[in-house]
Amino acid sequence: MGKIIAITNQKGGVGKTTTAINLASCIAIAERSTLLIDMDPQANATSGVGVKPEDNENTSYEILVGDVDATEAVIKTAVPNLDLIPSHIRLVGAEVELVSKSAREYKLKHALGELKEKYDYIFIDCPPSLSLLTLNALTAADSVLIPIQCEYYALEGLSQLLNTIHLVQKNLNKSLQIEGVALTMYDNRLNLSNQVAAEVRDYFKEKVYKTEISRNVRLGEAPSFGKPVIMYDAVCIGSQNYMNLAEEVLGEKNK
């Protein structure tokens, strides 16, 4: 049975989608069957693996509103062992449509039952908000991975995210765990990066991964080519960082 990991932080611009795309791709390249689910209406994870959002009839929206079986929305990507459930801008309307439905927080969990048997890892890229879409992801997940950028307001809003996780654990998904915390946009030349990294490690202790994701031009360029960084430039620092992070997530390196 596969492991479902939600990647979330309600703060925008922290490298959440970058982490979802590249961590999923690196784990897939490590020969684990992997599914990436794009739950963000912006569909950046979809385009980031080379899939045009407008080209897909079945997406995460159709799964949530119950129009299609989740297996019908799965498409293959150019990355070996990596499949995708794409997103679309119409996912914006899902929250309004789900408000009046019973068990609305469990829609994704129920939809993924069959797929969990098929994949080793399922990663969910959440929107940058604590919305019903994010609640669906947290209710469906076994664990949550939190990217935190090494910048001035890094810890701002984290208490709200952690409170949401605790509420989900209490009311919707008692087995939800914090998988780990990934430090992103790290620059070891800057005192600020080192200070923020130290603060985060002090706060989250052993939950913080040893691998820091450095600022890297190639990492920023890759999405415009519709490729994970490992497929765009396999030897750049961004690729090395995400391969190292994938080893930690797989348990092949100690956190």
Domain that holds residue 240: 3-249
H or E element in which residue 221 lies: helix 217-221
**Looking at the domain assignment, is residue 228 inside a domain?**
yes
Alpha-carbon distances, residue 27 vs 19, 37, 138, 176, 192 (angstroms): 12, 15, 21, 21, 30
User: How many domains in the chain?
Assistant: 1
The residue type found at 179 is E
Out of 27-36, 110-119, 147-156, 198-207, which region has the weakest mean confidence (pLDDT)? Answer: 147-156
pLDDT in tens, 38-74: 999 999 999 999 999 888 989 999 999 987 999 999 9
Q: What is the CATH number of the domain that holds 237?
A: 3.40.50.300
pLDDT in tens, 175-207: 999 999 999 999 988 899 999 999 999 999 999
Tell the residue number behind the tokens 């990991």, with chain if given. Answer: 5
Predicted pLDDT at 253: 56
**Looking at the domain assignment, is residue 254 inside a domain?**
no
**Looking at the domain assignment, is residue 20 inside a domain?**
yes
Predicted pLDDT at 252: 64
What is the chain's mean pLDDT, rounded? 93
Q: How far apart are CA 46 and CA 99, in angstroms?
A: 25
**Looking at the domain assignment, is residue 64 inside a domain?**
yes
**Looking at the domain assignment, is residue 255 inside a domain?**
no
